Homo-oligomer: A and B are copies of this chain.
Amino acid sequence: MEGRSVYRRGRMAGCRLRRLSLGMRFGDAERLPETRTLALAVRRNRLIPICLPPPVGPRPEKLPAKLPAVEEQPVTTPWYAIENAAEVPSPALLIYPERVEENLRRMIAMSGGVAGLRPHVKTHKLPQIVAMKLGAGIEKFKASTIAEAEMTAAAGGRDILIAYQCVGPGAHRLARLIQTFPKTHFSALVDNGGTLAELSAAAVAAGVEMTLYLDLNVGMNRTGIEPGDEAVELYRELTRTGGIRVGGLHAYDGHLHNPDSAQLAADAAEVRDRVSEFIGRLRDEGLEIPRLIAGGTPTSPLWAAHGKQELRDRYGIELDVEVGAGTTTLWDFGQAAESTDQDYLNAAVLMARVISRPTRDRICLDLGHKAVAPEMPQPRVRWFTLEDAEALLQNEEHLVLRTERADEYPVGTVVYGIPRHICPTVALQSEVVCVRDARAVENWPVVARARRITI
């Protein structure tokens, strides 16, 4: 990739391309002051530096009228590039702890403090990020599997909601979690009498107390009971079932993800109205509601901003409201496209290599759908510097891209990209690569991608 071609594509603003001698090898780049490279391209077995676009901000729609000459633009290392890429087998998922920490700060600010925040661990499944959350003052955790809950407890989490229905053997596994980690408070969801009876039996048999939240179906029609008469009765049942303590209500509105923020706000307000009304009704029945846990990533800011206040204003009810954003920890381009009002940093980047160039205009990367979440349509990854490339074919260990610039990506070239959906992408990795100061420094096993750790 020559400066010319980059320049032509209008992405060199703010960069100066220094003349680096071709033929440099890995390590050389580090020794060049102020000239830390980039993605390095291998051409004829030699490494050449590629000037990559600035890390943030959308690609400009049009070329500015006048760009500085290429020669005047400083070379900057893009934030995601690592200097020791040659040592890192691909495909790999790189995690940038400083960016995670910044996202945690923004999440805390969004929810108005740690008291209102219960972020989901399913996104990362990593004890190291649980530790970062604890370090940031976050004390409440949401999990979707017994294994995620166990990982979180082992990493020091003391308040963990399994936002899931523990059915079948799940009831006994939940009881064993409670027995195994006596310092941690576990809770789970329930939306029907049968499951409640099984959980109660498991709790009583194990001599433990289970905290359960009534799971409300607020329009997603995935799980939960509709906020109505039956739900009032089931909630009342919770209060008098042996071995069970009432946690409160869980209202997940995952069906709300309209990128039009005005429409999203209107839809979310409607859901809040239904939930508030139901809470008012429970209160009128003399039932106590310790807490409301609500919202997914798109609606969390709205719940945080209005949930508690509306309950106070309309019903005079003081209630703890917690939001459960998750993807915000690592962020991805699918969530960014849906939640246009939210501002988080990409803290997880896929790294791949060109392994073949089967035709003039095709490159094949070693990034198959066993390494990136494939439940979404293509593109499943947005590759930096390859924004023009079209994904033609993805198999288990291969991704074929078509680009007229294939000759700029010889076999061996390292490329970086943002996945569309980070949560299941993490679950496809046996370990992720922790990056500090532009270097891969250690591997972190993705502990909770297992469905069973010890329990």
Which residues in A have some Cβ–Cβ distance to B below 8 Å? 42, 44-45, 86-91, 122, 144-146, 164-165, 167-170, 173, 191-192, 194-195, 197-198, 215, 217, 220-225, 254, 353-359, 362, 364, 366, 369-371, 373-375, 392-398, 400, 410-412, 414, 423-424, 427-431, 449-452
Contacts and interface: CB of A to CB of B under 8 A. Distances in A.
Contacts of A221: 358-359, 362, 392-393, 400
29 contacts: A45-B197, A87-B169, A91-B451, A165-B366, A165-B411, A167-B354, A167-B411, A168-B414, A192-B357, A194-B410, A198-B412, A217-B359, A221-B358, A221-B362, A221-B393, A222-B356, A223-B355, A224-B356, A369-B373, A369-B375, A370-B424, A371-B451, A374-B375, A375-B394, A428-B428, A430-B451, A431-B450, A431-B451, A431-B452
A362 B146 CA distance: 25
Contacts of A223: 355-356, 358, 364, 398
Given A89-B451, A167-B366, A369-B375, 13 more contacts: A122-B397, A165-B411, A167-B355, A194-B410, A195-B412, A220-B358, A222-B364, A223-B398, A224-B358, A369-B424, A373-B374, A427-B428, A431-B451
Given A42-B194, A411-B195, A89 B222 contact: no
B89 A194 contact: no
A411 B42 contact: no
Contacts of A91: 451
Contacts of A217: 358-359
A356 B215 CA distance: 10
A77 B427 CA distance: 35
Given A144-B396, A411-B167, A450 B430 contact: yes
This chain's copy number in the assembly: 2
A86 B224 CA distance: 23
Nearest to A201: B45
Contacts of A370: 424, 427
Contacts of A428: 427-428
A23 to B, nearest CB: 14
Contact of A358 (B42, B168, B222, B412): B222
A416 B220 CA distance: 25
B89 A173 contact: yes
Contacts of A374: 373-375, 424
A142 to B, nearest CB: 12
A43 to B, nearest CB: 9
Contacts of A354: 167
Contacts of A392: 221
Given A223-B358, A358-B221, A353 B429 contact: no
